[in-house]
Amino acid sequence: MKRFFLVVLDSFGVGELPDAYRWHDEGSNTLGAIRNHPNFHCPNMQALGLFNIEGVGGGVKSPAGSFARMAERSMGKDTTIGHWEIAGLVSPEPLPTYPEGFPPEVISEFEKRTGHKVICNKPYSGTEVIKDYGPEHMKTGALIVYTSADSVFQIAAHEDMVPLDELYRCCEIAREMLVPPHNVGRVIARPFAGEYPFARTAGRHDFSLVPPADTMLDLLKRAGYETISVGKIFDIFAGKGLTESNRTVSNTNGLEVTKKMQARSFEGLCFVNLVDFDMKYGHRNDVAGYAAAATEFDEFLGGFLSDMGEGDVLLITADHGCDPSTPSTDHSREYTPMLICGKGIKGGVDLGTRETFADISATVLDYFGVPKEGTAGTSFLKEVLK
């Protein structure tokens, strides 16, 4: 029985890409920002070869896994196109962003369709926006619409003022109306609760663009394999190509679900996203929290590795960076790590720097013997199979 566990440590970059200057991300290095913090203790990832990756430094003599540094070919640094590229779909054009807020015609159409007034309409930190606009929202009931450096249309509302079902309805309307040239990558529901200064809740929900072409998920599903999502993978792909969805509320919950998947009998891909690295720590410039989250994952990894079956492969990677030590709270244009291991996988193979995240998709498809059929990437499976 063949099972492939693909785990995305959301935003776990390993150093700036050569074109980082285009995004004003010179000097960004997410792993570099956390590796010397006292909260960082990752012996299992170190043993697999995390620090042997090109440009990282401090590697072990005989890594238990094989490793590479992944370059992003798509034009962007956001969650959507990063995951799409991991799954074999390269995006040559960036998704639209709105550094001055959304055009008046977009906001007026949204107000007309939803029946709600809008306040804010600026790029904003998700925690700061509810502090600054939450009181006005509580008085008027107007929806807080904001964006960021990424291609997102975010809607925040207090759960006592706007029930979750109504907030989700408004998000669905936004997703329906945001078509080219305003085809943002994600519409995101951002509910909050409590008294001022308020707190965001676990009711976040992403309404993503449908991938414009088939990814490895579609090809695997068509070939009869299970394609199981854990975390926000289902949202990122708008459900396309997935046979099962398992939503999570935190990294801890995501790791619990992943462990349950390991104990279950299935044949196919288990695609996992651990969002707290990005959402709770990268965007909040919380170096200590990010380092602690890496340690939590590494502790989980020890048990997961010992329970891997003969046909199991584990691949760990990321979708972009989010350096918590820079003044910016946005994603950063970085290389990502790739660690691959399993009882049938060689240790110590240095795969260098890969030209695209899509090499992961090609490798997954190759493992299951499924033709690429138009997806991008070059498989490195033959180089790492025993």
Task: pLDDT band for 226, please (50, 70, 90 cuts).
Answer: very high
Residue 13 pLDDT class (50, 70, 90 cuts): very high
Task: Break the chain into its structural domains and give their ranges.
Answer: 3-92+209-384, 104-208
As a whole-number percent, the residues of the chain with pLDDT over 70 amount to: 100
- Average pLDDT over every residue of 299-316: 98
Using 50, 70 and 90 to split pLDDT, how confident is the model at 279?
very high
**pTM for the whole structure:** 0.93
| pLDDT at 194 (0 to 100) | 97
State mean pLDDT over 131-135.
Answer: 98
| Residue 67: predicted pLDDT | 98
Quote the pLDDT of residue 202.
Answer: 87
| Residue positions counted in the chain | 386
**Mutual angle of helices 164-177 and 104-114, in 10-degree steps:** 130
Q: How confident is the model at residue 149 (pLDDT cuts 50, 70, 90)?
A: confident
CA-nearest of 90, 150, 209 to 333 is 150
Terminal Cα-to-Cα distance of the chain (whole angstroms):
17
* pLDDT value of residue 366: 98
> What local confidence, expressed as pLDDT, does residue 185 receive?
93
Q: Encode pLDDT of 163-182 as tens digits.
A: 999 999 999 999 999 999 99
pLDDT (tens digit, 9 = 90+) per residue, 349-362? 999 999 999 999 99
Residue 118 has pLDDT above 90, yes or no: yes
pLDDT at position 241 over 90? yes
Per-residue pLDDT of 329-345, as tens digits, reads 999 999 999 999 999 99
DSSP state string for 77-108: -SHHHHHHHHTT---SSPPP--TT---HHHHH
pLDDT (mean) for 45-61:
97
- The predicted model gives 90-110 an average pLDDT of 96
Residue 120 has pLDDT above 90, yes or no: yes
Residues 6+ apart with CB under 8 A from 146: 120, 121, 122, 123, 124, 126, 129, 154, 156
Tokens matching residue 200: 């965001």
Calculate mean pLDDT across residues 269-282: 97
Q: Among 262, 189, 205, 204, which residue's Cα sits nearest to residue 228?
A: 262
Give yes or no for a contact between 319 and 14, defined as CB atoms under 8 angstroms apart.
no
Segment 10-37 shows an average pLDDT of 97
Distance of alpha carbon 94 from alpha carbon 151, whole angstroms? 9
Q: What is the pLDDT of residue 249?
A: 92
Range 3-92+209-384 has CATH code 3.40.50.2000:
no
Q: In the sheet that 226-230 helps form, which strands lie side by side, from edge to edge?
A: 244-246, 226-230, 268-274, 3-9, 312-317, 336-341, 66-70, 350-354
Neighbours of 41 (CB within 10 A): 14
Q: With respect to CATH, is domain 104-208 assigned 1.10.3720.10? A: no
**Alpha-helical regions (H) of 270-326:** 276, 287-306
Rounded to 10°, the helix 251-263/287-306 angle is 10
- Say whether 316 sits in a helix, a strand or coil: strand
Q: Looking at residue 306, what is its pLDDT?
A: 97
